[in-house]
Structure 1
Amino acid sequence: MSKLLVVFAFCCILVTQILAQDSSGRRFCDRLYDDCRREEATVGTQDDTVGFFNAYCGRHDRNWKKLTRCQLVRASCILTMVRCDNGSCKNVAESLRP
């Protein structure tokens, strides 16, 4: 019985840690996005990476809405820091939904 209790406590600690990482990861991504938006006037809203990504996703999804550089930065951050997922067109679109 005590082994079962220890395993249950360990699982609870892991779940708590994962939930805490999610909110702190999103806050980090939000700060990164805000920093990017502040520099957008200097750097611009598009670059080669964003252009290639938008072109690729536009060919594979008729309803694709073009992203800005900062939106792609935010989506990439959420996918890597929070969701541990890859940067596919579908995942990027889902990560940017409120």
Structure 2
Amino acid sequence: VWIRHIIIAFVLLASINLLVIFAPSILGIFGLIGATSAPCLIFIFPAIFYIRIMPKDKEPMKSPPKILASLFACLGVLFMTMSLSFIIIDWVTKSSHSH
């Protein structure tokens, strides 16, 4: 079990170090963190916690509240994907204009 945690921590630390080395400015890092954490906190985590916490015998997965929670989580993933793609496009276009 510990090996899994060590691998996840190593991957996170390595990706953060690469982000710090190759990011054009601190504004880009804050944008990236905001684009990932805001949809998670607002959309994805509440929906997933609701789905996980509600017992399946009380409320099956095909019940309307759980279906709406799943759609809410999907909407959060969509927002996060859009935000991250806009940030990456902005980084690429700024770097191509500077050359």
TM-score interval for Structure 1 and Structure 2 normalised by the shorter chain: 0.3 to 0.5
Structure with the higher helix share, 1 or 2? 2
